[in-house]
Structure 1
Amino acid sequence: MTNQIDKIDHAILAELQKDATLSVDALSDRVALSRNACWRRIKTLESAGIIRKRVALLDADKVGCPLSVLVMIRTDHHSDAWRSDFAIAVEALPEITAAYRMTGDLDYVLKVQLADMAAYDRFYKRLTSRISVSDISASFVMEDIKDTTALPL
């Protein structure tokens, strides 16, 4: 489907990335397409998995988790069982908003949202009680310069 995305699909996706609450009528006006044709294209993009879901983006400060933390993990364990346990731990800890397996010096990087340093300490203890790591460190975000979910189209 990726090769079949045309300029109109790009326009639809760009508008939905800005505001997924747009009605089909408003969206069709913005991309100069009839309502029915716009709706069909959205359904096709959803069926193809290009639009994975529509969500509300929350203000971390206003919901009580203003502290963004990048947690860097190195492990000596690379077995299927350890990776499975790690994935289960990641899913079980709602503070983890993103988890990446890396190349290079680090094995994993987690993005974590928390209320404060005390919450980080509790998170750290819960995480390390679930999985064995050889090294774990954290960097605390001082300023969000850019934080977006929009993909470049």
Structure 2
Amino acid sequence: MALLDGTKLNCGVTVFVSIRTNQHTAAWLKKFASVVTDFPEVVEFYRMSGETDYLLRVVVPDIAAYDNFYQRLIEAVDLSDVSSSFAMEQIKYTTSLPLNYA
């Protein structure tokens, strides 16, 4: 397995996108999941508990590219609220999992 440096691939901006919706039907989720997974900028996608319904981790080269992604997302599916938080610094990142639970 190879780990790639996002900054060298012009993907140096990480955005955490919190999404809320009033739609919770299976049909809506199927469409939403299809739309989101088709975006190459989305590298992680979670259904959440609490106030946020879904959380995306998006990687882009700059703010303009994120705005382009955002506009395409809100055009493609009906959402109640989209809130974006830009990572200022990545302090820890790993793909390893703790083995002491096995």
TM-score, normalised by the number of residues in structure 1: 0.63
Which of 143, 148, 152 is equivalent to 2:89? 143
Counterpart for residue 65 of structure 2 = 119
Cα distance in 2 between the residues matched to 1:130 and 1:84: 13
Cα distance in 2 for residues equivalent to 1:108 and 1:102: 5
Code of the residue aligned with 1:138 in structure 2: it is S
- Whose helix fraction is larger, Structure 1's or Structure 2's? 1
How far is 1:130 from its partner?
Answer: 1.2
Tell me by how many angstroms 1:81 deviates: 1.0
Q: Distance in 2 between matches of 1:130 and 1:79?
A: 17
Matches within 5 A, 1:56-135: 56-135=2-81
**Equivalent AA in structure 2 for residue 91 of structure 1:** T
Following superposition, the deviation at residue 138 of structure 1 comes to 0.3
Aligned partners of 1:90, 1:149: CA distance in 2, in Å? 22
Give identity over the alignment, percent. 51
Q: Find the structure with the greater CA-based Rg.
A: 1
Greater RCO, 1 or 2 (C-alpha within 8 Å, sep 6+) = 2
Q: How far apart are residue 56 of structure 1 and its match?
A: 2.3
Tell me the amino acid that sits aligned with residue 57 of structure 1: L
TM-score calculated relative to the size of structure 2: 0.94
Q: How does 1:48-63 map to 2 (within 5 A)?
A: 55-63=1-9
Q: CA RMSD in A?
A: 0.7
Cα distance between partner residues in 1 of 2:40 and 2:58 = 9
Distance 1:147 1:77 in 2: 33
Structure 1 distance, partners of 2:2, 2:76, is: 30
Cα distance in 2 between the residues matched to 1:132 and 1:56:
37
